[in-house]
Amino acid sequence: MAHPQVAAFARLANGGAKPTRAIAGQNTMFTRTIHDMAYDNVHDEIIVPSFYAFAILTFRGDANGNVAPVRKIWGPHTRLKNPQAVAVDGVHGEIFVPQGNQVLVFPREADGDVAPIRVVEGPDTGLGAGRVTIDPVHNLLITANAQGEAAEGGGGGGRGGGRRVAAIRIFDRLANGNAKPLRVITGEATKDAWLMTMYPEKGVIFAVVRPGNTGGLEGDISGRYLLDDYVGVWSVFDDGNVPPRFTIGGPALLLKDARGIAVDPRSQDVMVSDKTLNAIFRFHVPEAFN
């Protein structure tokens, strides 16, 4: 039985370090597993999607123990259904939830059965949206769907209007409805890009690439044991068939089943969790931030 929690470690923790604190317990509304989380460094809040509760949960940044969320978005008007990923824009005060072939957008302070203020959806979007990250500096909404999350739409075209090509799609941050992406990054790497995060100040996209990823709602849940995975680095200004500018942690190096990614721009470090290795790796890669 899984023990869902959000555990915090010292920044320089190494080896078999114990967490300094953990959010866990019945009051948290965490269910069997947690697939993603986001940190709002403007308001010091942690946002967690609750897959089986059909909810988005917000906790104080210093939360510890069996604590209830300070806000929760849930109910029939939210249109949430098994949310597994989330992103937050603390600058503009919005929460983004990729869900199937749409991205739901809520006010950051939404609480209860609140309808989204925008929904990006429709054939011109080209979505399935597996993951999303926000660039509040360049006002961009960036989505990724690995090849297993792509689907037939009936036609052609990576910018929408047909087959949903697995790619990184870059939209205006305020996109709504059947909006076309501004740019679409394609290629061997982006078709397997899944988890994402941003360094907005430089317009840098960090995406976990999982070659042969079966995609789907929960990604490849059968386990991965080869040294295939890695982090690819792109620019928000890339367009078309563009390979990653840098690769981190592989391929054929260290990562086997990458399931989470975060960046520390001050230290110029990239952190990646690996399910098979049951570890969190910290890579110092100043070249990727510059």
pLDDT at position 258 is 93
Please state whether the peptide bond connecting residue 76 to the residue before it is cis, i.e. omega within 30 degrees of 0: no
CA atoms of 125 and 171, how far apart (whole Å): 9
CA distances from 101 to 125, 190, 281 (A): 9, 18, 32
How much is the pTM? Answer: 0.92
- 289 phi/psi in degrees, rounded to 5: -90, -10
pLDDT in tens, the chain (290 residues): 357 899 999 999 999 999 999 999 999 999 888 889 999 999 999 999 999 999 999 999 999 999 999 999 999 999 999 999 999 999 999 999 999 899 999 999 999 999 999 999 999 999 987 899 999 999 999 999 866 444 433 333 445 444 568 899 999 999 999 999 999 999 999 989 989 999 999 999 999 999 986 554 444 556 788 999 999 999 999 999 999 999 999 999 999 999 999 999 999 999 999 999 999 999 999 999 98
Q: What does DSSP assign to residue 257? A: S
Q: Is 274 helix (H, G, I), strand (E, B) or coil?
A: strand
pLDDT at position 223 is 75
Supply 112's token pair: 């209860």
CA atoms of 63 and 46, how far apart (whole Å): 9
The overall longest dimension of the chain from CA atoms, in Å, is: 52
CA atoms of 31 and 152, how far apart (whole Å): 32
pLDDT at position 145 is 81
- Closest residue by Cα to residue 226 from 247, 256, 254: 256
Query: Strands 140-144 and 131-135: what pairing?
Result: antiparallel
pLDDT at position 30 is 93
- Closest residue by Cα to residue 88 from 143, 124, 45, 26: 45
* Residues whose CB falls within 8 Å of the CB of residue 143, separated by 6 or more in sequence, listed in order: 98, 103, 127, 129, 130, 131, 132, 168, 169, 171
CA distances from 209 to 23, 213, 232 (A): 29, 8, 6
pLDDT at position 283 is 97
CA 220 to chain centre: 15
